[in-house]
Amino acid sequence: MKVRHITLREIQIKLIAPFETSVETTDLRRILLIEADVDGVIGWGECVAAETPSYSPETIDTAWHIQRDFLWPLLKDKEFTSAADVWGLFEYVRGHNMAKGAIEAAIWDAEARQKSMPLWKLLGGVREEIASGVSVGIKGSLEALVAAVKTELAAGYQRIKIKIKPGKDLEQVKRLRQEFPRIKLMVDANSAYRMEDWPLLKQLDAFHLMMIEQPLGWDDLYAHVELQKKLDTPICLDECIHTEEQARAAIALGACKIINIKLGRVGGHTPARRIHDLCQQNGLPVWCGGMLEAGIGRAHNIALATLPNFTLPGDVSASKRYWQDDIIEPEVVVSPQGTIRVPSGPGIGFEPRRDRIENLTVRKERLA
Ligand code: OSB
Ligand code: MG
């Protein structure tokens, strides 16, 4: 296999409603899409780097720079036998996983299309539908939060995750438990707490949460080890797990009992699959996280979530929760049972809508 050329493209697309986390509120998404021509077959990838470096050190602009000035030169004119080899070609560049992951994923899509098979089968997936949950942003009032959760449950979603931050935590969880005593419920703090806050986090044990996601520092395994010793609620790590090595350390040290795997955060399907396998060997369940993706990123997440150890409902939900009009055909839909049917077509199994993508494009650069 050889990549003939790559097109980087920025689209701008507004969310249906602003999404608030402990860190900031997102309204307009700037999304970097990758089109890779691999031996004449086009594959698509979506870079999950955000507009700001507040979730990880990367942004859409650093990703563009790294892809154009460092990753493309490493890829250009190289012969390789499978998309599984691309991660290794990028080894010289440290970090910048979201930049790497978008190109790597596009090449996986192209390889699956070359072989006329679904990407999920090429990756080694085992299920034809995946369990879907939602991530509910921070709301202005308890009433608004309850209403939002009610809507998601009525749509069939199998588990509810709410974003929390200091001052918007215990009361919110308590109220949801009163209203919905038996639902699968969890919280995500996006690193909003410090070790000194442990007595407050300890109070969450009373509400039988499935897990608490990334309560402490984005790169601080040690503090999570100490916190997990004090909590009954399982800790799930998100931001902390950016490499297989970090995952191995987290497991060995007891920093978490569950891992949220995000394709972009770890650098593509190859490292995601390795972390998946490592967790499986160690008896930790995983689930597929989300980054407010448009359709192409969503489609890659669906393929990834078919691997056997993705046994918990993830954050991959319907296109219409975020977009008026998605960039793929068909859109991602969720059944009344809270499942997404895995597509059977070649590659990611959804077709990019070129007209729509072209309309949303604000800049484009072809690397050859
Ligand atoms: O921490 O999981 C997170 C969105 C942006 C950045 C980080 C996170 C999230 C979400 C949304 O929780 C998940 C989704 O795409 O639905
Ligand atoms: Mg998270």
Identify the pLDDT of residue 173: 98
Tell me whether residue 163 is one of the annotated catalytic residues: yes
Which of 163, 168, 184, 257 is catalytic? The answer is 163
User: Is the CB of residue 188 below 6 angstroms from any atom belonging to ligand 1?
Assistant: yes
**Residues 182-230: pLDDT tens digits?**
999 999 999 999 999 999 999 999 999 999 999 999 999 999 999 999 9
Give the atom of ligand 1 at the shortest distance from the alpha carbon of 317: 16
Phi (first) and psi of residue 174, to 5 degrees: -60, -45
Among protein residues, the one with the nearest Cα to ligand 1's atom 5 is: 291
Identify the pLDDT of residue 241: 98
Evaluate whether 165 touches 188 at the Cβ level (below 8 Å).
no
Model pTM? 0.98
Identify the pLDDT of residue 232: 98
Rounded Cα gap, residues 33 and 91, in angstroms: 22
Query: Could you tell me the pLDDT band of residue 287, with boundaries at 50, 70 and 90?
Result: very high
**Residues 341-368: pLDDT tens digits?**
999 999 999 999 999 999 999 999 999 9
Rounded Cα gap, residues 210 and 121, in angstroms: 29
Give the atom of ligand 1 at the shortest distance from the alpha carbon of 322: 16
Give, as one character, the DSSP assignment of residue 316.
-
**Residues 14-42: pLDDT tens digits?**
999 999 999 999 999 999 999 999 999 99
Rounded Cα gap, residues 215 and 201, in angstroms: 9
Among 294, 262, 275, CA closest to 34: 294
What is the CA(79)–ligand 1 centre distance, in A? 36
User: Is the CB of residue 317 below 6 angstroms from any atom belonging to ligand 1?
Assistant: yes
What is the CA(291)–ligand 1 centre distance, in A? 4
Rounded Cα gap, residues 226 and 238, in angstroms: 17
Q: From residue 87, give the alpha-carbon distance in Å to each of 171, 222, 275, 310, 335.
A: 44, 28, 14, 22, 35
Mutate to test the pocket of ligand 1, among 27, 135, 216, 304 (most ligand atoms within 8 A of CB): 135
C-alpha count within 13 angstroms, C-beta hemisphere, residue 201: 31
**Residues 319-349: pLDDT tens digits?**
999 999 999 999 999 999 999 999 999 999 9
Identify the pLDDT of residue 179: 98
